[in-house]
Amino acid sequence: MDIKELLEGYFKLSDTQKDDVLSKLAEIYFFQGIELGMSPVQILDGFDPLIDDATEREDYEVAQAFTDIKEAINQILTKED
């Protein structure tokens, strides 16, 4: 599925719907990065150009979704047991 389609109406989704969408995208990006040999830090840093590009194109739903994904992955990675 196209990311743009997946994020269509992102701001109008319920929190549960956003979580579902973000989980799908986070899984895709994280595991693709791992397959490419990237570290978690490199994967997180890889979201910055995506966020910047979406913001420049005034595609604020996409920019916010990538920001939310980055924050969620960062929280998971830095969570202490």
Q: What's the whole-model pTM score?
A: 0.79
Contact (Cβ atoms closer than 8 angstroms) between residue 64 and residue 10: yes
Distance between CA 63 and CA 69 in Å, rounded? Answer: 10
pLDDT tens profile 19-54: 888 888 888 888 899 999 999 899 999 999 999 999
Distance between CA 14 and CA 19 in Å, rounded? Answer: 9
Collect contacts of 13-19 with beta carbons under 8 A, ≥24 apart. Answer: 18/68
